[in-house]
Structure 1
Amino acid sequence: MALPALEGTLREPLGPPHPLWVAREAFAHRPHNYLRGCKWAPDGSCVLTCSDDNVLRLFDLPTAAEPRELVPSLVVPEGDTRHHQRRTPVPHMDSNQPDTCLVAASSRDTPVHVWDAFDGRLRGSFCAYSHLEQPVPVLSLLFSGDGSRLWGGCDGAVRVFPTERPGRNSGWERRLCGRGGGGQRGRIGCLAASESLLACGSWGRSVGLYPLGGGGDDGGGPVALWEKLPAAPTHLRFGPEGQRLFAGGRKDRHILCWDLRRPDPPLMALERLVATNQRVTFDLDLSGRFLVSGDSDGFLTVWDTWGPLEPPSPGQPPLLPPRLRFRALRDCINGTSLHPALPLVASASGQRLVAPPWDSDEDPEDEGPPPGGDNRLQLWWWGPPGDTPGDIGSGDGDCHLPGDISTEDTDCHLLGDTGTGDGDCHLLGDTSTKNMDCHLPGDTGNGDGDCHLPGDTGTENMDCHLPGDTGTGDGDCHLLGDTRTKNMDCHLPGDTRTKNMDCHLPGDTRTENMDCHLPGDTGTGDGDCHLPGDTGSGDTN
């Protein structure tokens, strides 16, 4: 590929990705169910989904041996999500440290719940109440970078929950609008944070930037406020350098980007169709160069945010043309998430479908319902051609999996391989360190050039063993049940002969060397080659 294989960086896409794994059955148990988004865990070990059936599901990162249809490893029922549901994993989540594997979720008329991502236990609840003792709905959630705080977007305010102290009325409120009507008004439906700024997107079609400082995150009013945007923002994302902010809205045709060093006007616009009020999320790779998003028509689009811009129209920001756009599904793709270390993209699809109000004068068979109903979690592989899912090799032709410490080119490692030698092809459990070993799945051989199957105990070089072969001699080609130990024997399935170089078929009783018998041959002479019906008895017949 044209770009170096930086960790967490989407390699420059030269064509559409390849669909690998899909989860559809998990969401098919309830009629009219659909996904509402997906998000990879920060360590890439699993992907989280939420859906209209009020259930959070975790799907582990699949291996090459996994079946195509994914099955959730964890299912957590949540509260009523018809109004909203927000979920976010802890930023420093590490599957090797179970205490860090947490997921926060909120839904209508329920507290904010923090769930254990390993066993689904409820690890804590955060409750906020108004001065009338009514629960305060939390419309958006975001963990701080160190996981010590959980921000919740409310009506005209952000609630700050200290994660070490769950419970009733935990935390405090940071008002975004003043008593006199100033500031940012409306319900805060999306949040994003950099090291020093908190971005708040309001359903009142505004985005505000607030400093993060002080023990209470109450660093004063907004340092920037964009009001009267074309649409209400539903998703915000800072670039990794913290100098650019991206915002996408509902019923909108663009994702807007601001350069915070010169906040007005917007730096660029990325054309994307969102035809409904549904939240459609996007994602940036860790370099901040490539942005990936779905849309209401089922297209996946990739933009190179470092690329050239088209001249702006009067009163409009410059337009960034897409690097790649292709039809992925026949339904709304409402969520995309890039794996933090692999060229692997997760997409969530589906939408609420309403029966069309057919006119009585029209024939519904001619019109048909609009495309839709393709509710799935889809994992796409966007690596170089020939690479294996999970490849982290940097050389052309490398096939490396996570954890592989080999740096030489042309190594061929399959999923679970721990070999470190050049040219080695090792499977899980293989301890051989010799170069050029060729091991098939389940092979436990340790000799150079050996090709061993389970149960093979041969240690000589250059053995050629087929599945079920138990031979131990050099160059032997033995089938199941063959007990010969001589070199260069050639036995076909069912052959029970024991002489060197014999080629025997079932029923052959000859004992001389170099016999050549074809299927059905009943000849008995040395070197005879007899077919059915042949009555010759001499040699070389």
Structure 2
Amino acid sequence: MAGYCKGQAHLRRLYCAPDSRCEMIATCDKAYVPCLTFTPATHSVAVEPNNLASAPRVTLPFPAIDLAWCPFKSGENAASFITTCRDQPLQLWDVGDAALRASYVSTNDSDYHVHAHAVCWFDDASHPHWIAGGYGGFEDATQVRVFDVLAEGSQPAWTYTAPRTHRLVSTLKDCAWPGTTSLLAIGYYNASTVHMVDCRNRCPAAELHGLKQGVHTLRVSAEDPLCVYAGGTQGDSRIACWDLRKPRAPLFTLERVVHTNQVFEFDLLPSTSSSEPRRLVTSSGSGGVVMYSWKAGDAPDAGSGAAFGLSVGPTSGLAVLDAETVVVTTGSRAYSYDSRNLPKVQARHWPSKADETLGEGGSAADAPAFPQYKRPRSPIADCPDSDDEGEGEISAGSARKMGEVASAEAVNVSVIALK
């Protein structure tokens, strides 16, 4: 695994294209959306360089919070995705030319513009034109606003407000009650319950209880359409599975190591038939990924997972390529402190205005010397890396900067084989 350099982009969450698992987009700590490509021949994944002529990048004023592919993307047809970004509305971007196609604006109860913290593009065949944004908070009682992708503007198709709460939405996932209606699963940063919303009547359908902290990730299973999976945050690192017909307690929980507030993603591996064992793979703070396997209709043991790829270090983002291969983002940094070790602030005497002017003795000679700040010279005249040899030569400083820009692509991504 390549080392991390200062100024280099750091990938966070991965999103595979619906028509090709080898094509991915990601969130990172830079103000753009990187595209990644998996090469089966070399079993490697790499970030595509920014090419303004052939493959430009989507640029944002701040790093993207969440992304969502167009579910009916097919090659270059309908090749677009939605972004959520600080101080920005929901924005629809074209993959080919990185052009903005539409914006969906929201305002809170104080009539200020607000940005979404999560986004979901409905995969249901009956509502492929719905885009759900997760909001909430102290000044916004509306948790979810659903827009029609064909109706750009500030008028949502419908909204959902959870009763007696001002929770902040962290994740959204669409699912369906078999043969009846579409459902929307909602997770919150500061609540342990998962809300299931009936998209037909715009009302609560169920509340899934069992976690202790917030919810970071939601997943549904194609083989078990009545099951919903949710991953907890730091303080409750479990993954819980519910049957929608029994929402009061989870069917089972799975363990993983979570040391930080990063989003530790998980996903279900595809199965060729409903009788095959169910398999779930999750990122882990202890390194690599952990895979759980259990028979259909049974419940796995919480600590029965098998670890793979421990050498890549702690992982957070995860994307499933096929039944035997996953791509993960690596790296972790913890910020902790102990209040007992913090330096104690000594009480000090704040001098009066006269003391500050004349000093403690009252004479002008004892007055404190204030620092003198010199105005910097022009960057052109004071440039340490200016070209003194001529216009055709490149200085060492300029070459160093060009090298830093060229090597700024993210490298914290690895491919793990589940064998």
Structure 2 counterpart of 1:160: 146
Q: Aligned AA for 1:43? A: D
Number of aligned positions between the proteins = 324
Change (3 A) 1:378 1:173: same
Q: CA deviation at 1:126?
A: 1.3
Q: CA deviation at 1:104?
A: 0.8
* Cα distance in 2 between the residues matched to 1:222 and 1:348: 35
Structure 1 counterpart of 2:281: 292
Structure 2 counterpart of 1:105: 83
* Cα distance in 1 between the residues matched to 2:42 and 2:265: 30
Structure 1 counterpart of 2:413: 377
| Structure showing greater relative contact order (alpha-carbon pairs closer than 8 Å, 6 or more residues apart) | 2
Note if 1:115 corresponds to 2:84. no
Q: Aligned AA for 1:160? A: V
Note if 1:128 corresponds to 2:113. no
Q: How does 1:156-195 map to 2 (within 5 A)?
A: 156-167=142-153, 169-178=154-163, 181=164, 185-195=166-176
Q: CA deviation digits over 1:137-168, x for unaligned, max 9?
A: 2011000114301100110410111111223x
* Cα distance in 1 between the residues matched to 2:91 and 2:97: 14
TM-score by length of 2: 0.69
Note if 1:211 corresponds to 2:198. yes
Structure 1 counterpart of 2:67: 87
Cα pair 2:160 2:202 within 8 Å, conserved? no
* Cα distance in 1 between the residues matched to 2:118 and 2:47: 28
Q: CA deviation at 1:222?
A: 1.4
Q: CA deviation at 1:326?
A: 3.2
Change (3 A) 1:149 1:65: same
Q: CA deviation digits over 1:55-106, x for unaligned, max 9?
A: 211123325268875544653222323xx700111122211xx231111110
Q: Aligned AA for 1:80? A: F
Q: CA deviation at 1:203?
A: 1.9
TM-score by length of 1: 0.54
Cα pair 1:295 1:334 within 8 Å, conserved? yes
* Cα distance in 2 between the residues matched to 1:204 and 1:67: 37
Q: Aligned AA for 1:322? A: S
Note if 1:248 corresponds to 2:219. no
Change (3 A) 1:74 1:244: farther
* Cα distance in 2 between the residues matched to 1:100 and 1:68: 24
> Helix, strand or coil: the match of 1:223?
strand
* Cα distance in 2 between the residues matched to 1:276 and 1:65: 32
Deviates more, 1:67-76 or 1:121-130: 67-76
Structure 2 counterpart of 1:34: 10
Structure 2 counterpart of 1:43: 19
Q: CA deviation at 1:309?
A: 6.4
> Helix, strand or coil: the match of 2:77?
helix
> Helix, strand or coil: the match of 2:255?
strand
Change (3 A) 1:57 1:248: same
* Cα distance in 1 between the residues matched to 2:143 and 2:44: 46
Q: CA deviation at 1:54?
A: 2.6
> Helix, strand or coil: the match of 2:329?
strand
Q: CA deviation at 1:349?
A: 1.9
Q: CA deviation at 1:323?
A: 4.3
> Helix, strand or coil: the match of 2:260?
coil
Structure 1 counterpart of 2:132: 151
Structure 2 counterpart of 1:324: 306
Change (3 A) 1:192 1:306: farther
> Helix, strand or coil: the match of 1:208?
strand
* Cα distance in 1 between the residues matched to 2:334 and 2:259: 13
Q: CA deviation at 1:255?
A: 0.3
* Cα distance in 2 between the residues matched to 1:337 and 1:259: 24
Unaligned runs of 5+ in 1: 1-21, 214-218, 311-317, 361-373, 384-541
Sequence identity percentage: 23
Structure 2 counterpart of 1:260: 244
Structure 2 counterpart of 1:418: none
Unaligned runs of 5+ in 2: 50-54, 137-141, 177-181, 343-409
Cα pair 2:327 2:415 within 8 Å, conserved? yes
Note if 1:277 corresponds to 2:277. no
**Structure richer in helix, relative to its length:** 2
Q: How does 1:350-389 map to 2 (within 5 A)?
A: 350-352=331-333, 354=335, 376-382=412-418
Cα pair 2:209 2:247 within 8 Å, conserved? no
Q: CA deviation at 1:350?
A: 2.6
Q: CA deviation at 1:29?
A: 6.5
Change (3 A) 1:277 1:323: closer
Cα pair 1:185 1:202 within 8 Å, conserved? no
Cα pair 2:45 2:414 within 8 Å, conserved? no
Cα pair 1:308 1:320 within 8 Å, conserved? no
CA RMSD of aligned residues (A): 3.1
Cα pair 1:283 1:291 within 8 Å, conserved? yes
> Helix, strand or coil: the match of 1:272?
coil
* Cα distance in 2 between the residues matched to 1:275 and 1:381: 24
**Structure richer in strand, relative to its length:** 2
> Helix, strand or coil: the match of 1:273?
coil
> Helix, strand or coil: the match of 2:114?
coil
Cα pair 2:309 2:416 within 8 Å, conserved? no
Q: Aligned AA for 2:226? A: Q
Cα pair 1:255 1:269 within 8 Å, conserved? yes
